Amino acid sequence: GAGVSQSPSNKVTEKGKDVELRCDPISGHTALYWYRQSLGQGLEFLIYFQGNSAPDKSGLPSDRFSAERTGGSVSTLTIQRTQQEDSAVYLCASSFRGGGNEQFFGPGTRLTVL
Amino acid sequence: DQQVKQNSPSLSVQEGRISILNCDYTNSMFDYFLWYKKYPAEGPTFLISISSIKDKNEDGRFTVFLNKSAKHLSLHIVPSQPGDSAVYFCAAPVKGSGTYKYIFGTGTRLKVLA
């Protein structure tokens, strides 16, 4: 079956522009996570969606970051007015019912802000 | 506050020898741990996990040991193979009010030399 897919795989943008990153989770997975990995760093938690519950946004680094999950499936991470420090690989993961269940990761989107 | 720490950013091991990757944690409430492997340009993939009720879990060439009193876990790979060359992350789920975050370490880059 299809795994988690993310698009685009690479995105180069100019400072100050807005970007949207897309994640298609595995069908039937109710939990969806966004992480980012900056150069030389570990995976930094950004946001967590679980079913119809309010998302856990506690990891979003600033109000320029937002995410939506439509219909309990596809998710979009939006970064407004991008800054150079936003450059990172943005990873999406999904799992069945969340909790301590194994997460399945997408290949990531490499964002470069010039 | 880095609750999950991987203090060795890199490790080189000869093919056929044992690889030992270490992870320390500070939160005594963690009750489940996971190891992920990440190849370049790919998302992390789940490798092995351990519950805090156990002190060892084995899966083929991979064994994870947990020392709760020392708040330390380690991943042993034996025998190591060149295909094991990747970045390894340890992670622990943290339960909030109805949500789960995963706290990841910064990763250890393993290089298995042929």
Domain boundaries, chain B: 4-113
Q: Is residue A76 part of a domain?
A: yes
pLDDT at B81 over 60: yes
- Nearest CA to B63 out of B44, B54, B7, A103 is that of B54
A59/B contact by beta carbon, under 8 A: yes
Whether A81 maps to a domain, the answer reads yes
Task: Report yes or no on A1 lying in a domain.
Answer: no
| Three-class SS state of B16 | coil
Residue among B6, B43, B103 minimizing CB distance to A106: B43
DSSP labels, B46-88: EEEEEETT-SEEEETTEEEEEETTTTEEEEEESS--GGG-EEE
A113 in any annotated domain: no
Q: Looking at residue A54, which CATH number applies to its domain? A: 2.60.40.10
Name the CATH topology of B4-113. Immunoglobulin-like (2.60.40)
Query: Shortest Cα distance from A44 to chain B (angstroms)?
Result: 7
pLDDT(A1) > 60: no
pLDDT band at B2 (very low <50, low <70, confident <90, very high): confident
How much is the average pLDDT of A62-66? 96
- Residue A37 C-beta-side C-alpha neighbours within 13 Å: 24
Q: Is residue A11 part of a domain?
A: no
> Cβ distance B100 to A102 under 8 Å?
no
- CB proximity A100 to B under 8 Å: yes
Write out the residue range of the structural domain in which residue A57 sits: 16-98
Contact A50 B98 (CB under 8 A): yes
For the four alpha carbons of A2, B48, B15 and B108, in that order, the dihedral sign comes to positive
What percentage of chain B exceeds 90 in pLDDT?
81
Using a CB–CB cut-off of 8 Å, the residues of B that contact A are 4, 6, 9, 32, 34, 36, 41-46, 49, 89, 91, 93, 96, 98-107
Q: Would you say A77 and A93 are in contact if contact means Cβ atoms under 8 Å apart?
A: no
The residues, ordered by sequence, that sit 6+ positions from B56 with a Cβ below 8 Å of its Cβ are B50, B63, B64, B65, B66
- The percentage of residues in chain A with a pLDDT greater than 70, rounded to a whole number, is 96
